[in-house]
Structure 1
Amino acid sequence: MAIHNDLGRQGESIAKHYFEANEYEILDENWTYGKAEIDLIVYKNGLMVFVEVKSRSSVAFGRPEEFVDRTKQKQMELASLAYIEMMNHQNEIRFDVVAILFTKDHNYTLKHIEDAFWPEG
């Protein structure tokens, strides 16, 4: 398996533990709808949060959160609409990004960006 895939899986695991530690319920992981995938879907106090996790080992090409481009946002929006309908969720939603930057000594920093974007509709 490619190193970047390992890094991505490790980042998603860290993000999952982060949300659990902050008392979110994990509803789904790597949920797919067509070609779209949502890394984590979490829930707390009536709020459903769709989360994109981006992990990088360097900022040479940009910070992890900068890789959630408009195309990815649109895919997440489409998938979220299907998920909301499937779950019959009638409360608030939010789109978050968790950016994880790994260091050479296997440490990391985690940046949770709430309301990272909102679909343009």
Structure 2
Amino acid sequence: MAQHNELGKKGEQLAVDFLVKNNYEIVEQNYRFEKAEVDIIAKKNDVLAIVEVKTRSTADFGNPQDFVKPKQIKNLVKAVDAYVIENDLNIEARFDIIAIVKAKNGYDIEHLKNAFYHF
């Protein structure tokens, strides 16, 4: 497996662990709809957190969250609309990013709530 794929998988697991530690319930991982994949769908209180995980080995080329592109956002919104309808949910949803950068002694994790779209 390519090294960036392994780093991505590690990042997603770190994000799940981080969310669970912060009292989120993981509802779904790697939900696919058409061209989109939602990394993590989690729930806390009465909010559905749609989480895009961005992991980088270094921040030399920019922060991980800077790599979420408008087309990806559009596809994620479409996927979440489908998920909410498919599961007949009546819940507030918000889009978060968990940005992870490899550090000397582990990983730096930043949780950006309401990162790009709110409905």
TM-score normalised by L of structure 2: 0.95
Secondary structure of the residue aligned to 2:59 is coil
Structure 1 counterpart of 2:113: 114
Structure 1 counterpart of 2:4: 4
- Structure 1: runs of 5 or more not aligned: none
Name the stretch that deviates more: 49-58 or 82-91.
82-91
- Structure 2: runs of 5 or more not aligned: none
Within 5 Å, give how 1:1-121 maps onto structure 2. Answer: 1-103=1-103, 105=104, 107-118=106-117
Secondary structure of the residue aligned to 1:27 is strand
Q: 1: distance between equivalents of 2:82 and 2:91?
A: 15
Secondary structure of the residue aligned to 1:58 is coil
Q: 2: distance between equivalents of 1:11 and 1:87?
A: 27
**Superposition misfits of 4+ residues, deviation over 4 angstroms:** none
TM-aligned CA deviation for residue 54 of structure 1: 0.2
Secondary structure of the residue aligned to 1:20 is helix
TM-score normalised by L of structure 1: 0.93
Percent identical among aligned pairs is 39
Q: 1: distance between equivalents of 2:27 and 2:87?
A: 10
Q: CA RMSD in A?
A: 1.3
TM-aligned CA deviation for residue 106 of structure 1: 5.5
TM-aligned CA deviation for residue 17 of structure 1: 0.6
Amino acid at match of 1:93: A
Q: Render the CA deviation track for 1:38-60: whole Å, top value 9, x for unaligned.
A: 00000111111110000001122
Secondary structure of the residue aligned to 1:8 is helix
Give the length in aligned residue pairs: 119
Secondary structure of the residue aligned to 2:116 is coil
Q: Render the CA deviation track for 1:31-81: whole Å, top value 9, x for unaligned.
A: 100110000000111111110000001122211010011111111101000
Amino acid at match of 1:98: I
Secondary structure of the residue aligned to 1:9 is helix
